[in-house]
Homo-oligomer: A and B are copies of this chain.
Amino acid sequence: MATRKSQTLDLAILGTLKEGELHGYELRKRALSLIGQVRSLSYGSLYPALRELTERGYLEVDDRAALGIRRGANPRARIAYSLTSAGKEHLNSLLAESGPKEWEDDSFVVRFALFSQTDLRVRVRILEGRHTRLVERLETIRESLSRGRERMDTWTLELQRHGEEAVEREVRWLNELIDNAKTEEKEMNK
């Protein structure tokens, strides 16, 4: 059994499927509207993933259309996938656990898009993790900027400057979100 890696893709699929059963084609579109900004999602990744998640018991297949016959022959069969209860559990544990590379662009965006299904405390943890990561990146950039200053190519410099700005913006954005979340947290504890 081809063991895939990317938990990110699993998350995206399971998270999208949380709101009801879907067939592959539609699933892809929905998932892309979540994560399309930073990731692509080709069928070459999607269908193998769907198959494996089914094998593992996280997904259930309801293929009324293509019952039994002509597997793999008839497109337009509309094979509907839905979460099993094990699948829901798995989704929850994925949402709660902190995987490796949790703060990478891909992973963060997916987790963020699924925030409405995520516990408030976990949300804060994810936001803060991303924050730390970005501040680190900012330091790296600034260091390289001050180190090079005179020696560096004009255009490389300009690129770096622009990159710095973008990261700064995202840090500020995160700050706001973290503030909001913490306020919300306090109000719930009252």
A148 to B34, alpha carbons, bound, how many Å?
12
Contacts of A105-140 to chain B: CB distance below 8 A? 109, 112-116
Interface hub of A141, A153, A163, A166 (most chain B Cβ within 10 A): A153
A47: chain B residues within 8 A (beta carbon): none
Main secondary structure of the interface of A (DSSP, over half): helix
List 25 A-B pairs, Cβ < 8 Å: A33-B144, A33-B148, A34-B156, A34-B159, A37-B141, A37-B159, A37-B160, A109-B159, A112-B155, A112-B159, A113-B153, A113-B155, A113-B156, A114-B155, A115-B154, A115-B155, A116-B153, A116-B154, A116-B155, A162-B170, A165-B169, A166-B166, A166-B169, A166-B170, A169-B169
Given A33-B144, A144-B33: A162 touches B173 (CB 8 Å cut-off) = yes
Q: Give the 10 A-B CB pairs with smallest separation, nearest first.
A: A115-B155, A37-B163, A113-B156, A116-B153, A116-B155, A112-B159, A113-B159, A162-B173, A34-B156, A113-B155
| Residue positions of A touching B, CB distance < 8 A | 33-34, 37, 109, 112-116, 141, 144, 148, 153-156, 159-160, 162-163, 165-166, 169-170, 173
Cβ of A10 to closest chain B Cβ, rounded Å: 19
Number of copies: 2
Interface hub of A34, A114, A153, A155 (most chain B Cβ within 10 A): A155
Cβ of A111 to closest chain B Cβ, rounded Å: 10
